[in-house]
């Protein structure tokens, strides 16, 4: 896979996507096939300005697709923010080894690309808080949780996530994008140390998105959420997996609005878990942003670390 951890196991360009779609969905015009975005697991192409089609970039991404195809149509009918709904379900073809799926293109841009001011996130906070309150309803877990894994990435366990975030910051420091030994760097280590003794949560589990971060919430220019995307990590877990978004994406009044809409702020232990997860997600996203030359994402990711630490110090 080369020296870049983000490199695909099987790269697919627009011509390859067009070929796969033409072979399996002859009704599509395919006048336009344009890459929209990619992450660790998938590459997304916009087709004919109407469809967002997700193609796995690695086996790990392909392994997650069945959950999305099963759950998203059911969730779309009960959640107050739009989610993608699989309508085009493709299969391996030719040299491409994995299934893929497409749904109607949701409007909006990723949170970092919206350049929302710190004091302009109240709508984002309230709407996503309400969204999570609905998603975490125990009845949804009862109805749709059968067969789902239980926090398989151990995201709610600080001793599991902390080293991943620390390694990302160390690599950022070597690239000149993080100040090793700075106040913020020491605060990060202090946060990890505070959570080091926490094992896996023992409270009730709910249905969670599982990877809710800055890139997986779409917003309009006013900051209102227009979609929550990338549900490959949906699982049963402690609510903190999703509530960490409140610590990384907003601060101050907006964070208060987030937890008010959700219905309750976490207790001290869950708050610590959420802050660790948010800070580590910010570190990983910042490293991705540097690797892929995405300055807006880098700025927002570094800011999210400071929010998670409740520290106004400069990150880099």
Same domain, 155 and 267: yes
30 belongs to a structural domain: yes
314 belongs to a structural domain: no
pLDDT tens track, the chain, 316 positions: 345 666 767 778 999 999 999 999 999 999 999 998 877 778 999 999 999 999 988 776 566 778 899 999 999 989 999 999 999 999 998 889 999 999 999 999 999 999 999 999 999 999 999 999 999 999 999 999 999 999 999 999 999 999 999 999 999 999 999 999 999 999 999 999 999 999 999 989 999 999 999 999 999 999 999 999 999 999 999 999 999 999 999 999 999 999 999 999 999 999 999 999 999 999 999 999 999 899 999 999 999 999 999 854 334 4
| Best CA proximity match to 238, nearest among 197, 206, 198 | 206
Pairwise CA distance, residues 56 & 44, whole Å: 9
- How many domains in the chain? 2
Helix axes 122-135, 240-248, angle to 10 degrees: 180
- H helix intervals, the chain: 14-24, 59-63, 65-76, 111-114, 122-135, 138-144, 158-174, 183-195, 240-248, 252-262, 268-291, 295-309
Same domain, 96 and 142: no
Query: What pLDDT, on the 0 to 100 scale, is given for residue 57?
Result: 84
Boundaries of domain holding 73: 14-104
Same domain, 58 and 155: no
Same domain, 130 and 272: yes
Which residues does residue 35 pair with via DSSP β-bridges, in sequence order? 45
Query: What pLDDT, on the 0 to 100 scale, is given for residue 5?
Result: 61
Residue 18 to residues 47, 51, 53, 126, 175, Cα–Cα distance (Å): 9, 12, 11, 39, 37
Tokens for 218? 């779409």
Same domain, 94 and 141: no
Same domain, 56 and 28: yes
Same domain, 178 and 269: yes
Same domain, 165 and 48: no
CATH code of the domain in which 77 resides: 3.30.200.20
pTM of the model: 0.91
Same domain, 236 and 289: yes
2 belongs to a structural domain: no
Query: What pLDDT, on the 0 to 100 scale, is given for residue 61?
Result: 59
């Amino acid at each position: 896979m080369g020296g870049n951890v983000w490199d695909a196991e099987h790269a697919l360009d627009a011509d390859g996507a067009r070929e796969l779609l033409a072979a399996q969905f002859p009704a599509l015009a395919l006048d336009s096939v344009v890459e929209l975005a990619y992450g660790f697991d998938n590459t997304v192409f916009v087709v004919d300005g109407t469809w967002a089609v997700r193609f796995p970039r690695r086996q790990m991404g392909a392994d997650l697709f069945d959950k999305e195809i099963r759950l998203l149509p059911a969730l779309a009918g009960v959640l107050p923010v739009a989610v993608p709904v699989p309508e085009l379900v493709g299969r391996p073809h030719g040299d491409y080894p994995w299934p893929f799926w497409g749904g109607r293109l949701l409007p909006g841009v990723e949170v970092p690309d919206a350049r929302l001011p710190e004091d302009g996130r109240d709508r984002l906070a309230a709407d996503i808080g309400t969204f999570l309150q609905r998603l975490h309803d125990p009845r949804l877990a009862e109805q749709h949780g059968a067969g789902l894994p239980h926090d398989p990435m151990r995201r709610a366990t600080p001793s599991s996530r902390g080293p991943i975030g620390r390694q990302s910051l160390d690599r950022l420091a070597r690239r000149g994008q993080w100040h090793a030994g700075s106040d913020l760097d020491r605060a990060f280590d202090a946060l990890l140390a505070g959570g080091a003794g926490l094992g896996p949560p023992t409270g009730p589990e709910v249905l969670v998105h599982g990877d809710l971060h800055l890139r997986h919430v779409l917003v309009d220019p006013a900051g209102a959420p227009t979609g929550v995307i990338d549900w490959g990590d949906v699982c049963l877990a402690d609510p903190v997996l999703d509530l960490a978004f409140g610590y990384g994406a907003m601060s101050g009044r907006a964070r208060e609005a987030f937890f008010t809409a959700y219905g309750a702020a976490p207790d001290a232990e869950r708050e610590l878990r959420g802050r660790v997860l948010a800070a580590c997600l910010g570190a990983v996203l910042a490293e991705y942003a540097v690797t892929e030359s995405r300055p807006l994402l880098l700025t927002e990711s570094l800011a999210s670390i400071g929010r998670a630490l409740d520290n106004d110090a400069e990150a880099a």
